[in-house]
Structure 1
Amino acid sequence: MGLNKHNFSILITTKNRCSDLIFTLNKIKYLIETEEVECVVFDDGSTDGTFEKVNKDFPGIKIFRNESSKGYLYCRNKMLNETQAEFAISLDDDAHFITQDPLNAIRKHFDENKNCGLIALRIFWGLDEPVEIISAEKSQRVKGFVGCGHVWRMSAWRDTPNYPEWFEFYGEEDFSAMQLFKRNWEVHYFPEVLINHRVNIKARKKNADYAIRLQRSLRAGWYLYFLFLPLKVIPRKMVYSIWMQLKLKVFKGDFKALKALFYALFNLIGSIPKIIKNKNRFTDKEFYEFRKLEDTRIYWQPEKK
């Protein structure tokens, strides 16, 4: 999969969500049609006709396909490692830009902030676009970023390890954010550019995959503890994490959460060899400095008037 030189590459991984993907591609078509942008879609083994549909309706898009699924992170790593663009925009297949001229703003921010390795975009989570899109927030350095809408400076990507495919899903952005910190790159929250992530958060708990999502979220957090945190703080972090799951979920009758908790612990034990191989612990000073950073901006809501 060879990619030509462009200023921007929009990278989208998808699997069996053809309608979501086509909606997104139509929304960003005006960007894809500019000369400085390439759009790459990686179909991870879909069986719903995604590959054929994109090939037919969007001839300007480069689409690649795994015959059988190799995982979300495999696809993201492959696209990032092979693009020749200066900046790579990562979008989920159910996310699109609301801001109409995002590229110039993104480029300007990178040009003015040479230590910024990654831009975390402002994200509205909802099935419909917000009525009010203006934000008074200012750009600032933060701890991490969200997968559904961010932009890599590709020299920073090449300076850090790939996303850890053994995480499967959840936690890979925090992994990369901590690696960036260790390499003296900064993550900046950039509210000037707004993304609509078309997800109903409240409905997720009722979905059939709620327990597996919780399991993977828990274990990813624990993987990160053992990979990056000073050893002396890990026991307290682990006890607090487990206690909060018991207090807020299990003791209130959420027994799917109890199952997720046990499976996550088993996953952690089974991943000890990988953790030992990939650990990159903060010094006490680094941990102190990292903790002082502003928290990751995950959700944005319009101000109520």
Structure 2
Amino acid sequence: MTDLSVVIVNWNTREFLSRCLRSVYDTTLDLDFEVIVVDNGSTDGSQEMVRQKFPGVSLIVNRGNKGFAKANNQAIRRSRGRYVLLLNSDAFVRENTIEHAVAFMDGHPEAGMAGCKLLFEDGRLQPSCYSFPTLLTEFFIAVGLDRLFPRSRLFGRYGMTYWDFDDIREVDVILGAFMLVRAAAIDEVGLMDERYFMYSEEVDWCYRFRDKGWKIYFYPDVEAVHVGGGSTRRVRAEMLVRLYGSRIEFFRKHHGRLSARLLKLVIGFNCLLRIGPGAGYYLLSDDPQIRRKHRAFVRLLRVLPTL
């Protein structure tokens, strides 16, 4: 058994993936580790790049996009490490980040998972841990109270925006961009739920870890840079439908059908707020991003009953 299995899922992010892999190999010198890349049917030359530049990587090639959960599960089944690090292809680790995170887990046997401090490329702090979603927090998000009062412990509860992210603490959810997981805990809890194609799979996994008594920690003493949206920024409407569809599935699975129906009402209200009063602004705007955002919420509202 090795110390660590680094698992990276890729979909058409060749340049990001190259930077990600280089950062892992350049900064992780004192651990026995393996790297497993799962490519979800990329057409941008990602597979060829991995074979040429990183021949030591174990490459799994899917014919199509199998989604985040299923692809990660493929690699986890093949992994041999005491720990499994789920790392986004658009995340780049800094010196000693992985080694110190593993040392933290070694010193906290009650920890099933740990996440690190994430930064945008310009150095700004990126939210990387959350509370479990509730109907109340979803309502706050829908009406914008989380953005109006980010320092409020009530309105900023979901994104934990009232907190400075500078101290070690137990949290509900860590972002899947850098998720260090104990292999023994995976054996007890099970793999990711593959009903989630993308989004909410890490929320569901964390919920199940906590349900089994494993603790989840935010460990800010180490950092990684996460670009964010590397493989989804081009498909806003599809992204939005999958985002909210996954959230509805999470509520249905863990809180019942009634909660899922109520969440649909909250999401529908959110859509109406975004496409109703501001419709003229969206439609008359010269910014294509703004117009795409409007169309995305229109589409979400149309398909919401089927989710």
CA contact (8 A) 2:5 2:35 kept: yes
What secondary structure, in the 3-state scheme, does the structure 1 residue paired with 2:113 have? strand
> 1:211 corresponds to which letter in structure 2?
A
Offset at 1:149? 1.2
> 1:112 corresponds to which letter in structure 2?
G
What secondary structure, in the 3-state scheme, does the structure 1 residue paired with 2:55 have? coil
Asked if 1:130 corresponds to 2:123, the answer is yes
Following superposition of structure 1 onto structure 2, how do residues 18-167 of structure 1 map, counting pairs within 5 Å? 18-31=14-27, 36-98=32-94, 100-125=95-120, 128-130=121-123, 137-167=166-196
How many residues in Structure 1 have an aligned counterpart in Structure 2? 255
Following superposition of structure 1 onto structure 2, how do residues 1-305 of structure 1 map, counting pairs within 5 Å? 5-31=1-27, 36-98=32-94, 100-125=95-120, 128-130=121-123, 137-199=166-228, 208-229=234-255, 233=259, 236-253=262-279, 254-266=294-306, 268=307
Let me know the Cα RMSD of the aligned residues.
2.6
Return closer, same or farther for 1:137/1:26 CA change in 2, 3 Å cut-off.
same
* Cα deviation digits, residues 192-212 of structure 1 (max 9, x gap): 1211112379xx8xx541111
Return closer, same or farther for 1:33/1:64 CA change in 2, 3 Å cut-off.
farther
> 1:265 corresponds to which letter in structure 2?
P
Offset at 1:72? 3.0
- Name the structure 2 match of 1:283: none
Return closer, same or farther for 1:188/1:56 CA change in 2, 3 Å cut-off.
same
* Cα deviation digits, residues 165-207 of structure 1 (max 9, x gap): 2321111011101111211112111111211112379xx8xx5
Return closer, same or farther for 1:121/1:74 CA change in 2, 3 Å cut-off.
same
Return closer, same or farther for 1:241/1:36 CA change in 2, 3 Å cut-off.
same
Cα distance between partner residues in 2 of 1:230 and 1:72: 24
Return closer, same or farther for 1:200/1:208 CA change in 2, 3 Å cut-off.
closer
What secondary structure, in the 3-state scheme, does the structure 2 residue paired with 1:256 have? helix
Cα distance between partner residues in 1 of 2:125 and 2:303: 42
**Normalising to structure 1: TM-score of the pair?**
0.75
> 1:93 corresponds to which letter in structure 2?
S
Percent of paired sites with the same residue: 18
What secondary structure, in the 3-state scheme, does the structure 2 residue paired with 1:159 have? helix
**Normalising to structure 2: TM-score of the pair?**
0.74
Cα distance between partner residues in 1 of 2:28 and 2:105: 21
Return closer, same or farther for 1:175/1:57 CA change in 2, 3 Å cut-off.
same
Offset at 1:39? 1.2
* Cα deviation digits, residues 229-282 of structure 1 (max 9, x gap): 26665554443333233224554222420211332431x2xxxxxxxxxxxxxx
| Unpaired runs of at least 5, structure 1 | 269-305
CA contact (8 A) 2:97 2:224 kept: no
Offset at 1:101? 0.9
Return closer, same or farther for 1:53/1:234 CA change in 2, 3 Å cut-off.
closer
Return closer, same or farther for 1:16/1:136 CA change in 2, 3 Å cut-off.
closer
* Cα deviation digits, residues 137-186 of structure 1 (max 9, x gap): 11111111211111111111122232222321111011101111211112
> 1:130 corresponds to which letter in structure 2?
G
> 2:22 corresponds to which letter in structure 1?
N
